[in-house]
Amino acid sequence: MAKFITIGERIHCISPAIREAMNTMNPDPILKRAEEQIKAGATYLDVNIGPAESNGIELMKWAVKLIQEKFDNIPLALDTSNKAAIEAGISVYNRSKGKPIVNSADAGDRIDNIDLAAANDAIIIALCSKEGVPSDNDERMAYCQEMLERGMMGGMDTADMWFDPLFLVIKGMQDKQSDVLEAIRMFTEMGLNSTGGLSNCSNGMPKHIRPIMDSAMVAMAMQCGLTSAIVNPCDLRLMETIKSCDIIKNETLYADSYLEI
């Protein structure tokens, strides 16, 4: 067991400022968001360049070097559907602070991203779905098994496969939330690492509610053994909850100033 790993989600081309920066290769907005997230305590930073079909290779290489050179080789999750761009990013990636994460594979069209991660000694986020939302945990665990086998066939260390149960929006799918937690519990019992887009659970809720709901979800998921999550590290309540849960789980030693470190 180890301290919970947070993957900062705020370098995402869906944000207008980041999209603009990526289009013009303007470092400042990207570095600003990287810095904010690192200061807030993110372990990894996700770099989502979108599909980037025309210039993905160039863009990912640029972004990886830009962020790592500025911030002491902070480890990154490379997030795009463009495989060549991921490989290009890994080719310039500095591993001194941690392996690169490939974000992501699923049990459907994107299963070969597991091979990509295996070939490049990277961590893979393995999303337990094929087409849309799995209908129940039997289906989830079947996908988990399928991807696990794929990774092992490729020679991956299973610790480098981080399984994503697929966090579901609470508004409208309230009855599915226990399944998600149960799936995390099953990953944990199999000795597997896990992660996921946690904030999906509070999608569509009022802005002031989201940190509360995300914090409750992360606490419950951590008790089920969740080992990491893709989150907004600038959400103070969420980060305080994660730090507190790490203390309760004895993953880090308590000190009165634990929230400040």
**CB-nearer residue toward other proteins: 17 or 255:** 255
**CA-to-CA distance for 250 and 180, rounded, in angstroms?**
24
**CB-nearer residue toward other proteins: 14 or 261:** 261
Q: In the bound complex, what is the minimum distance in angstroms from residue 155's beta carbon to other proteins? A: 20
CB within 8 A of 115, min separation 6: which ones?
150, 154
**CB-nearer residue toward other proteins: 175 or 260:** 260
Q: Which of 8, 102, 12 is nearest to 52 (CA)?
A: 12
**CB-nearer residue toward other proteins: 7 or 85:** 7
Q: In the bound complex, what is the minimum distance in angstroms from residue 258's beta carbon to other proteins? A: 8
Q: In the bound complex, what is the minimum distance in angstroms from residue 3's beta carbon to other proteins? A: 7
Q: In the bound complex, what is the minimum distance in angstroms from residue 33's beta carbon to other proteins? A: 25
Tokens of 24: 């013009």
Beta strand residue intervals within the chain, DSSP E: 5-12, 44-48, 76-79, 101-106, 123-127, 161-164, 193-194, 228-231
**CB-nearer residue toward other proteins: 3 or 110:** 3
Q: In the bound complex, what is the minimum distance in angstroms from residue 259's beta carbon to other proteins? A: 11
Classify the phi-psi angles of 132: left when phi > 0, otherwise alpha if psi is within -120 to 50, otherwise beta: left
**CA-to-CA distance for 30 and 46, rounded, in angstroms?**
11
Query: Residue numbers of the site for other proteins (CB under 8 A)?
Result: 2-3, 251-257, 260-261
